[in-house]
């Protein structure tokens, strides 16, 4: 009978190690944005210094969604001039 394979060392090494501070920051971010609209939550996390990739992972959206929310924020205050 063949021996059972133990966990693949390469796949174990690929899992990123998350520091305790990062875990706490993620938990607080989820608490701070609970019940918020996804766009508003993305902008709040962006203002708190999270990257687009981190925000996307926290809110379960794509990075592009976060970038679009940022763009909407920039352009929402501007009005077109009547010509």
pLDDT of 6: 62
Q: Does residue 61 lie within any of the structural domains?
A: yes
Rounded CA-CA distance 53/74 in Å is 19
Structure tokens at 29: 């971010």
Q: Does residue 18 lie within any of the structural domains?
A: no
pLDDT of 32: 93
53: burial class by Cβ within 10 Å (0-12, 13-18, 19+)? exposed
Contact (Cβ atoms closer than 8 angstroms) between residue 29 and residue 48: yes
pLDDT of 18: 83
- Identify the domain containing residue 43 by its residue range: 37-77
Q: Does residue 64 lie within any of the structural domains?
A: yes
pTM of structure: 0.68
What is the mean pLDDT of each successive set of 10 residues along the chain, which is 83 residues long? 59 72 92 94 94 94 95 80 56
CA torsion 57→63→65→69, rounded to 10°? 100
pLDDT of 17: 87
Q: Does residue 82 lie within any of the structural domains?
A: no
């Amino acid at each position: 009978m063949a021996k059972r394979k133990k966990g693949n060392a390469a796949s174990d090494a690929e899992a990123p190690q998350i520091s305790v501070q990062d875990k706490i920051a993620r938990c607080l971010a989820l608490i701070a944005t609970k019940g918020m609209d996804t766009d508003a939550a993305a902008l709040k996390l962006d203002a708190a210094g999270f990257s687009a990739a981190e925000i996307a992972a926290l809110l379960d959206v794509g990075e592009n969604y976060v970038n679009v929310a940022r763009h909407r924020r920039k352009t929402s205050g501007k009005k077109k001039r009547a010509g």
